[in-house]
Structure 1
């Protein structure tokens, strides 16, 4: 990958230094915070959901346009950038709200979110897959439907065009994020089978945190916070 694309990827998505021969983009910094939220749609046939998410981000939340990449495996990925590194619970709350707003009909296995998934680094784009002899690339959202049946590029993407698309993007700043969080809906989830009733009495704070962590009706961000508190207290 050329130096210029790496410079733009670093500007938007990570504070880490990226070597010229690197194959992965780190998503987490040393403090465990992230400047990137990648929403991956593994099935190319879910392009309508990708388009709906792009429209919601722009039209309803008035957020800067994310980058859009296509992989040789058929996945579309939205790359959201944040001007300030964000703790994972806050990113989880943002993603929960976005999912409730425009992706509630999409089964869980057909959308993934990094680094909330536990993935701390992702393959750099563009990249060549020798197995199928095609390229991943950043693409113009207006061309997304063209890649539903033909994922990836047959020829190397134009490096200057890749840089141009990234250079025109801006990160979500603090004010924009705060406004978007206030607009996003609060997800409503059914309690998981066997979830502990939070309305009960808890004499042990750790038991309460464990109940929060295991209760699917609690927003993901709060469950992550409970898990973090348990880990900090030395509970496994």
Structure 2
């Protein structure tokens, strides 16, 4: 990968120092804070939801434009950068508010959010997928609809152009983050309180694990369960 491109990836998203030849980008640091929030839409047919989210971030929240990537398999991902590392519960609250505001019609299994999903690292972009023999790449939002039926790129993207696209982006600063957190809607408390888990649990760890892995549970509650498991495991 071109040094300038990897430098931009580090500047915007990396939670820790990483070598220029790495194939995975660290999103979480040792204190479980992150400078990036990646919102992934696994189905290319959900491009209208991607576009609606981009519009909401820019027009309603007045936030810097995030990077947009397409995977070799056709998934779209929004890469939001934060100037200061944010604890996972803060990022979870941000994502929950965004989901209520403009993604409430999208089923839970058609939306992923990293590192809230548990992924501490993600593959760098661009990258070649040997299974489908196509490339992931950062793309201009105006080209998004072109990839609905044609996933990924057939040829490797131009590294200089990829670096230029990222160099034009800016992270969400602390003042913007505070303003947006006061502006975003909050999920109904009833939905936050209701954990749609079936079965009877006698082991607290098993219950917490079930909460953490249940996609129907609000992401903030899943983060709290994961944190409790981590604390218990360190004792």
Q: Normalised by the shorter chain, which TM-score bucket?
A: 0.7 to 0.9
Q: Using the alignment, how far apart are the partners of 1:65 and 1:222 within structure 2?
A: 28
Q: Is 2:105 the counterpart of 1:102? A: no
- Which residue pairs with 1:176 in the alignment? 176
Partners of 1:219 and 1:131 in 2: CA distance: 33
The alignment of Structure 1 onto Structure 2 pairs a total of residues equal to 224
Match of 1:224 in 2: 223
* 1:192 aligned onto 2:191: no
Residue in structure 2 matched with residue 199 of structure 1 by the alignment: none
Paired residue for 1:21? 21
Q: For residue 156 of structure 1, report the CA deviation from its aligned partner.
A: 1.1
Distance in 1 separating the partners of 2:81 and 2:25: 13
- The CA deviation string for residues 69-97 of structure 1, in whole angstroms up to 9 with x for no partner, is 00111100000000000000000000000
Contact 2:196/2:217 (<8 A) preserved = no
**2:122 corresponds to which residue?**
122
Per the alignment, do residues 235 and 3 of structure 1 end up closer, same or farther by CA in structure 2, a change over 3 Å counting?
Answer: closer
Unpaired segments ≥5 residues, structure 1:
196-205
Q: What is the TM-score when the length of structure 2 is the normalising length?
A: 0.86
Contact 1:13 1:36 in 2 (8 A): yes
The answer on whether the counterparts of 1:69 and 1:139 sit within 8 Å (CA) in structure 2 is yes
Residue 56 of structure 2 corresponds to: 56
Query: TM-score, normalization: structure 1?
Result: 0.86
Distance 2:18 2:223 in 1: 29
Greater radius of gyration (CA):
1
C-alpha distance in structure 1 between counterparts of 2:18 and 2:168, whole Å: 21
Query: Runs of 5+ in structure 2 lacking a partner?
Result: 199-203
Tell me: CA distance 1:226–1:141, structure 2 relative to 1, closer, same or farther (3 Å): same
CA contact (8 A) 1:41 1:111 kept: yes
- Compared CA separation, residues 235 and 40, structure 1 to 2 (3 A): same
1:84-118 deviations in Å (ceiling 9; x for gaps): 00000000000000000000000000000000000
SS in 2 for 1:77: strand
In the other structure, the counterpart of 1:31 is: 31
Matched-pair contact (CA < 8 Å) for 2:196–2:216: no
Separation in 1, partners of 2:233, 2:43: 39
1:93·1:219 contact (CA, 8 Å) conserved in 2? no
Secondary structure in structure 2 of the residue aligned to 1:79: strand
Show the counterpart of 1:198: none
Q: Secondary structure at the match of 2:8?
A: helix
Are the aligned partners of 2:68 and 2:139 in contact in 1 as well (CA < 8 Å)? yes
